[in-house]
Structure 1
């Protein structure tokens, strides 16, 4: 049995999508110092739609399933998650 490292990016919801979502919006706000950057990131996170967070958590769930199916190995490709779950208001029961 192979264990995932404690800080594996495959198992970190921030690395799976939230950082990318925040970064794409935060880059549009000019900042000139660290305090401005922190404020821009905080504002951007608060503006993230719930749907974006839901997509990230569904992706995390699918990654966990892939790790289990591949015998605790992380040599799999990230799964493509069907976004219809969220558009139709359906969240898989394994997440609820």
Structure 2
């Protein structure tokens, strides 16, 4: 189990990427001493194991230890004083939006970082479900990693190698889904819009900076989910 966080990439007036939007991905693992000796290792050797339980306490720990510092380190300086929304999916393991420990750390240094949940039963409003998670699944279908360290390595490499152009397409798809939800008065029953993003990108016509009402909302949003 991993915790992943991504934001929308940013581009300058020349179309050059100034922020790739990749905040980070962190495995829910821990180092433990081997209880028994085997032909591969001695008793007491430290091994990487999956966390035995992932609840709100673990989510709080990862937010404070990893996610919030990564956002503050990587966030574009021009938006340093604007509000940032961390959108969690609706997994029961996530913290409450008013968790006092998370909010205290989120505000440290004068930042305005707030926690929100995506609408219930609305998978199209989770940007990670619209793109990167599919890439991980496809990667594992091509070649399944042999052990836990290899799984962690492959997932981290997948994020590092994920093109910012593809991540930008995810946010454009998310904007389109949000428009459809608004058109249908909050209903999630609509045809998934097809924007022909790859064709537009090939001709240089794909928008990377949109002057629409949802632009600021998207730019200030960090998707947080557990693949």
TM bucket normalised to smaller: 0.7 to 0.9
1:53 to 138, 161, 167: 167
More strand by share: 2
Partner of 2:190: 76
Q: How many residue pairs were aligned?
A: 91
1:19 to 133, 146, 155: 133
Query: Residue 124 of structure 2 contacts residue 130 of structure 2 at CA under 8 Å; is this kept in 1?
Result: yes
Judged with a 3 Å threshold, the aligned counterparts in structure 2 of structure 1 residues 44 and 27 are, in CA distance, closer, same or farther, namely: farther
Distance 2:190 2:158 in 1: 31
2:211 to 74, 84, 93: 93
- Name the TM-score, length of structure 2 as normaliser: 0.36
User: Which protein is bigger by CA-based radius of gyration?
Assistant: 2
What is the RMSD computed on CA atoms of the aligned residues?
2.0
Greater RCO, 1 or 2 (C-alpha within 8 Å, sep 6+): 1
Please identify runs of 4+ aligned residues in structure 1 that moved more than 3 A. Answer: 25-30
Per-residue CA deviation, residues 10-42 of structure 1 (Å, 9 max, x unaligned), is 110111112112332354444111221111011
Partner of 1:63: 177
SS at match of 2:131: helix
SS at match of 2:138: helix
Partner of 1:37: 151
Gaps of 5+ in 2: 1-118, 217-227
